[in-house]
Chain A
């Protein structure tokens, strides 16, 4: 028997089992009598037991066996006892996950679970004492799944008792597993094909179509096929947001348990799909927002009851489509951001002058939480104080071409949201000529392009405006913003209407060099600190063109 092969299958399958078990336990917390969820936890424990026994992981087998037995008792009783019994099951799950992590990262056999946990699982039902918070070992939030689940997530296919089974449950189409590395290499190759196609087309343009009709026809056919290839490749790149939202309810639960709070997490829009490369970089920021919501948003049960709220805090994590972007928001019904304190910290840290601070609208004050070095708590709590701050969240979202916002309502709660583009790799762009340089702007950001006489642009001091649709729109010289030679300003100028941070603006460009589908590569390391540059592509004639990040330019 090829042990390495079975070990890999075990790790993969157990990890899926854990995710299902976790989802079912969370469901049992809301609905302790859900026979379906009881059944899933039982079945997952059983499945893990069988695999572990085959591989000689006795510690895993023993713990899974006791979890299974416990679930059998729960099934016989008809419901899980909320509170202590569920905590016990969650601890069992966590211990199983840790053991599989040992299998994954070392050649060691996992060591047995704590005797106290094993005894409690096999003990009588009433004998489950809630742990004292002070004695509790520090638990890390569960690791987020690192491998993609192609096809529908397992938790979307609930197990049904034979009697409850609905006949019309559609079976998901068969799926295959592909290593992310393989997929990435494939997608990168597709990008190169797209790039090469446009280079070939440019090179072939020297032959007139009449002289080489076969060439023209061949190129057209190739374009169609490459277009199809590109659409399929884009489909492969997208993954349901569920993949990063799925672990959040449990993370929240563990965080809340440690700080003596109670929270319930609802996930909405998890079926929306997003470019995988973007999705992967969203999960840490999202965990951070969730931590903030649990730590600083949701109040203690006593404080909530005193404020006339339910003792269980409610956090909604929602993904919503907005044009070519997806907004993922984390809303809590807690106390809201303490704006007075944020303002005081901002003044103290020298971010803003006291006199100016008083004139700022609440949303701008709230936005200070994204500023480096401003934490609103006098003492950073053990949980949120670790790792990244909100400034890091903002920076990492902006590097994806997105933005982060916070809206707070004193006493009613806080909504933090991340807006990110759906696809990153292939974009249709407008090429703008600025002197000798060409820069690219995503077409999706362009409202329209106007031609206007230079003298119609009104200047007052260093600012410029133009009348567009009876509206005064600020005009920015892109060349100036990118520190290129300023626009010489001929008789006719081009204005590209776009939106920056919700404001309509017009960009002044010397030439419009057409539209093109480009494959965006990351900006080379050397230039990666130039935040105005969002990406790089090579045109058909071999010239490098940078994709401009307007948020950093205007």
Chain B
């Protein structure tokens, strides 16, 4: 089971992801509400997987991915995107994110993506 860090500025979304992944037996080890916090919490917690919102205050999700990659190039980050953010998702994948999930979250899709990413070497 994976240790997950959830980064999203909306506590609504954080709770939703938490509920979905915890129901499957994963552990949410931390939450971050902006890009800076996401990088700091990554440094502190070394989670197996990070779910990263794109639009966040202080530092965008994409910049946070870059920050995390500088710390650990093998970090596993899944972007959370909404419809219409395809270009940004491409940018995030180029920056080192491994995959993405689309809002509104469908539990099956979230869990499948998480499992796929967690198994990657």
Contacts and interface: CB of A to CB of B under 8 A. Distances in A.
A65 interface: yes
A35 to B, nearest CB: 13
A311 B98 CA distance: 56
B57 to A, nearest CB: 4
B13 interface: yes
Given A13-B11, A13-B12, A43-B9, A50 B57 contact: no
Given A47-B9, A49-B82, A65-B84, A54 B58 contact: no
Contact of B104 (A42, A53, A65, A159): A53
Nearest to A46: B55
Nearest to A158: B57
Contacts of A157: 57
Given A9-B11, A49-B82, A65-B84, A54 B104 contact: yes
A488 B12 CA distance: 69
Interface string B77-121: 000001010000000000000000001110000000000000000
A46 B11 contact: no
Contacts of A13: 10-12
Interface string A1-40: 1000010011001000000000000000000000000000
Interface in A131-184: 157, 159-160, 162, 165
Contacts of A10: 12
Interface string A298-337: 0000000000000000000000000000000000000000
B interface: dominant SS: loop
B26 interface: no
B96 to A, nearest CB: 16
B58 A165 contact: yes
Contacts of B10: 13, 47, 50-51
B59 A6 contact: no
Contact of B55 (A1, A47, A160): A47
A391 interface: no
A177 to B, nearest CB: 10
A69 interface: yes
A42 B35 CA distance: 16
A11 B16 CA distance: 15
Interface string A119-130: 000000000000
B27 interface: no
Contacts of B60: 162
Given A43-B57, A49-B82, A9 B104 contact: no
A6 B13 CA distance: 9
Interface in A477-502: none
Interface residues of B, number: 22
A135 to B, nearest CB: 33
A51 B53 CA distance: 13
Contacts of A65: 84
A138 B57 CA distance: 35
B81 to A, nearest CB: 10
B19 interface: yes
Q: Which of B13, B55, B56, B105 has the most CB of A within 10 A?
A: B55
Contact of A6 (B12, B36, B103): B12
Contacts of B73: none
Given A1-B19, A162-B35, A51 B58 contact: no
Contacts of B16: 1, 6, 54
Nearest to A10: B12
Contacts of B56: 43
Interface residues of A, number: 21
Interface string B57-79: 11110010000000000000000
Contacts of A69: 84
A50 B82 contact: yes
Contacts of A43: 9, 55-57
Contact of A54 (B11, B35, B57, B103): B103
Given A54-B104, A162-B63, A6 B82 contact: no
Nearest to A171: B37
Given A6-B16, A50-B104, A51-B12, A162 B58 contact: yes
A165 B59 contact: yes
Interface string A245-278: 0000000000000000000000000000000000
A9 B82 CA distance: 20
Contacts of B82: 46, 49-50, 53
Interface in A198-247: none
Nearest to B19: A1
Nearest to B20: A1
B63 to A, nearest CB: 5
Interface in B26-64: 35-36, 55-60, 63
A272 B13 CA distance: 33
A69 B59 CA distance: 20
A175 to B, nearest CB: 12
Interface string A37-72: 000001100110111011000000000010001000
Q: Which of B10, B13, B58, B103 has the most CB of A within 10 A?
A: B10
Contacts of A42: 55
Interface string B1-27: 000000001111101100100000000
Contacts of B9: 43, 47
8 contacts: A1-B19, A6-B15, A9-B11, A13-B10, A49-B82, A54-B13, A69-B84, A165-B36
Interface of B: 9-13, 15-16, 19, 35-36, 55-60, 63, 82, 84, 103-105
Given A1-B19, A162-B35, 14 more contacts: A1-B16, A9-B15, A10-B12, A13-B10, A42-B55, A50-B10, A50-B104, A53-B103, A54-B105, A65-B84, A69-B84, A162-B59, A165-B58, A165-B59
- Sorted nearest first, the 10 A-B pairs with minimum C-beta distance are A159-B57, A54-B104, A53-B104, A50-B103, A51-B12, A9-B12, A46-B55, A47-B10, A162-B59, A162-B63
